[in-house]
A and B are shown apart, each in its own frame.
Chain A
Amino acid sequence: MRRRIVELFATFFRIGLFTFGGGYAMISLIEDEVGRRRGWIGADELTEVFAIAESTPGPIAINCATYVGYRQAGLAGGVAATLGVVLPSFIIIYVISLCLERFMALTVVANAFRGIQVAVAFLVLRAGVRLIKRLPRRAVNVVACALSAAAVMAVNLFDWRFSTVWLIVCGALLGLALYGGGDRA
């Protein structure tokens, strides 16, 4: 049991260390490490794990780690896997935060980061457009998407005092009202 817990920690540490670009990039690495190489979880259950991770709040990598860890070795396994996937990020970012200010004093670095702003805009916009493309084409979706986008723009550009968390709550309530009856869902 103790060996399994150490193994879980080490595996998810490696997954946390070698995935760039967020949770979705992690999925293929998790498939490889947890599914094919170790056979901890079968392909069918793994698909289910990813579906659960997508439909619960929070970072997808964390959701996957907690689930796989728990199924392998109970609560201790869940803790070990989650800690493993978080730790590389935590250490790397903490170290960067210590020297970022000194680094930013270099003109060439400051200039590079001005360019990076454009990349950030591009990446976030691309992620949003991809999600919009995957939506089923229904009038309700178009309206909900447009309204939430308008609200976020207002909050951002005109300093509206309105928490965007409420948008998600409204979306959930709208979904319950529209599809909760069970007939049309």
Chain B
Amino acid sequence: MTLLKLFLSFFKIGLFTFGGGYGMIPLIQQEALAQGWLDAETLYRYIGISESTPGPIAVNMATFVGASRAGLAGSLCATVGVVLPSFVIILLIAAVMKSFRENRFVKAALLGIKPVVAGMIAATGLCIALRCTIVNLGALKGMSVDFRQLGIAAALGLFALVWTKTLKRPFSPILTILVSAALGALIYGV
């Protein structure tokens, strides 16, 4: 039952992910939290690891969530689920629908999807930022600001600014994660 549910959930996520790996984060966050698979903190930990290990983020996340729910079988079901919609759709396009991209309705639907996905990803980023800087978010009592997280955010922002402005190099995801991990170990360690 768990395995079937994992497969179906990730099939749905794979089918509705537009705009690359980041596009799946809003979907997976909702699915994982709604089904009670993981808490927000574990989810962000998984995203962090998925960003700093090779391979498509969607596959990394599916394998991770699947493994945490039901071991090797779970990770297989989730990964096959997230890959299958892409695989079938691309086969259909490559084999029979070569004019897919010229299709008027496909173009029109994509034009409508783009702003929606952009809004979803930005809002998800904002929610993650709020959740990690405000403790007990949403609770009337006991809501407080985590100043150490704010400090890490400020230091990370400063580092990114200096890195891109003076070295003229892109601030890659893996560098972002390494710097923030070092900051976390330092600031929470003392």
Contacts and interface: CB of A to CB of B under 8 A. Distances in A.
B72 interface: yes
Contacts of B126: 125, 149, 153
Given A116-B181, A157-B137, A176-B109, A58 B89 contact: yes
A165 B9 CA distance: 11
Contact of B26 (A147, A152, A175): A152
A144 to B, nearest CB: 4
Contact of A132 (B52, B67, B119): B119
Contacts of B184: 111-116, 118
A161 B50 CA distance: 27
A115 B27 CA distance: 24
Contacts of A82: 83, 87
Contact of B108 (A54, A125, A185): A185
B149 A114 contact: yes
B101 A51 contact: yes
A135 interface: yes
Interface in B103-131: 104-130
Main secondary structure of the interface of A (DSSP, over half): helix
A148 B53 contact: no
A55 B99 CA distance: 13
B185 interface: yes
Interface in A39-71: 48, 51-63, 66-67, 70-71
A93 B53 contact: yes
Interface string A9-34: 00000001111111110100000000
Contact of B116 (A17, A57, A121, A148): A148
B80 to A, nearest CB: 9
Given A89-B55, A172-B109, A127 B93 contact: no
Nearest to A110: B188
B176 A180 contact: no
A175 B110 contact: yes
12 contacts: A22-B21, A22-B56, A57-B16, A58-B85, A62-B87, A100-B49, A111-B184, A119-B181, A124-B128, A156-B29, A172-B112, A185-B108
Interface of A: 16-24, 26, 48, 51-63, 66-67, 70-71, 75, 78, 82, 85-86, 88-90, 92-94, 96-98, 100, 104, 107-108, 110-129, 131-132, 134-135, 140-142, 144-153, 155-158, 161, 163-165, 167-168, 170-180, 182, 185
Top 3 nearest A-B pairs by Cβ distance?
A115-B184, A175-B112, A58-B86
